[in-house]
A = this chain, B = another copy of it.
């Protein structure tokens, strides 16, 4: 069981006028983490998915908790794991911490889809296999 790990620093563009991260920016960061994971761990960048194969992976569902606020300059450690892989969907769990403190816990459901008509499509076998390395618990095929 692996977890994918990457870093993102809180920038001016992420903060609101009260000095903390505006919550939609956490979703932007989470999507960036997913894009990095697809590229680096699944070897299937969003550019290749969209450009070569006319597929997208829109978000169908999101659950998030923000237990503590983040501020300009904070170094966020993001960890990603997969909690379930369906035929066309994938549940991705993301957690961000700063100095060990929990800042974000998020669950996103991606659905592989044809661009244009937004019809669900099955995950390619090699993508499913690579993503399975990041499953939180063993899932039967």
Question: Which residue numbers of A lie inside 8 Å of B, CB to CB?
Answer: 11-13, 15-20, 22-25, 27-28, 31-32, 35, 39, 45-48, 50-51, 56, 58-69, 71-74, 115-116, 118
Known: A13-B31, A20-B56, A32-B11. A65 touches B72 (CB 8 A): no
Chain A interface main SS type: mixed
Asked if B24 contacts A25 (CB within 8 A), the reply is yes
* A and B contact pairs by CB, cutoff 8 A, 21 listed: A12-B46, A13-B28, A13-B32, A15-B15, A15-B16, A16-B56, A17-B19, A18-B56, A18-B115, A20-B56, A23-B31, A23-B62, A24-B25, A39-B73, A46-B73, A47-B72, A48-B73, A60-B65, A60-B66, A62-B64, A63-B64
